[in-house]
Amino acid sequence: MVERTLAIIKPDAVSKKFTGKIIDMIENHGFNIIRMQKLRMAPEHGQAFYAVHKERPFFGELVEFITSGPVVVMALEKENAIKDWRTLMGATNPAQADAGTVRKLYAESIGKNAVHGSDAPETAQEEIKFFFHDL
Ligand code: CMP
């Protein structure tokens, strides 16, 4: 089934100039980039995006990091886009990520982990709408 998912290239990867390399991996794995925007999230924007994690001990750190510099936000489309983008990203903790994944190649820690991907169809729809209101 053709699906859409939200991908974010996070501030660590953007500042290290990995944007092009990550987009290349995305396109080489058959995803279509439906929309793409580079932006800097405001603190309220970061808090709202990660609201599901607001009770976690690392919430403050998470929002501070995602708002620390520009991100590149993309709506991706392909068959099984949600699962396939998560597979291509690799494990949340780069120390546990498989060889050849984005996080193995470009992430430095569980917090500064280079990329984000939606985890389920409902969250994918919500997260895409959060950035691209008309999708
Ligand atoms: P992401 O998939 O963008 O959504 C939630 C984020 O929380 C996750 O990526 C991690 O970067 C971050 N995260 C998860 N666990 C921790 C942790 N123990 N410390 C800091 N950040 C974390």
CA 49 / ligand 1 centre spacing (Å): 13
pLDDT of residue 67: 98
Token pair listed for 113: 């982990």
Mean pLDDT for each 10-residue chunk of the chain (135 residues)? 97 98 98 98 98 97 98 98 98 98 98 98 98 97
Mapping DSSP to helix (H, G, I), strand (E, B) and coil, where does residue 92 land? Answer: coil
pLDDT of residue 34: 98
pLDDT of residue 106: 98
pLDDT of residue 110: 97
Question: What pTM value is reported for the model?
Answer: 0.97
Length of the chain: 135
Residue nearest ligand 1's atom 15 by CA: 110
pLDDT of residue 126: 98
Residue nearest ligand 1's atom 2 by CA: 116
- Residue with tokens 């990660």, as numbered in its chain: 50
For residues 68 and 62, give the distance between their C-alpha atoms in angstroms, rounded to a whole number.
10
pLDDT of residue 6: 98
Residues within a 6 A CB radius of ligand 1: 53, 58, 61-62, 92, 110-111, 113, 116
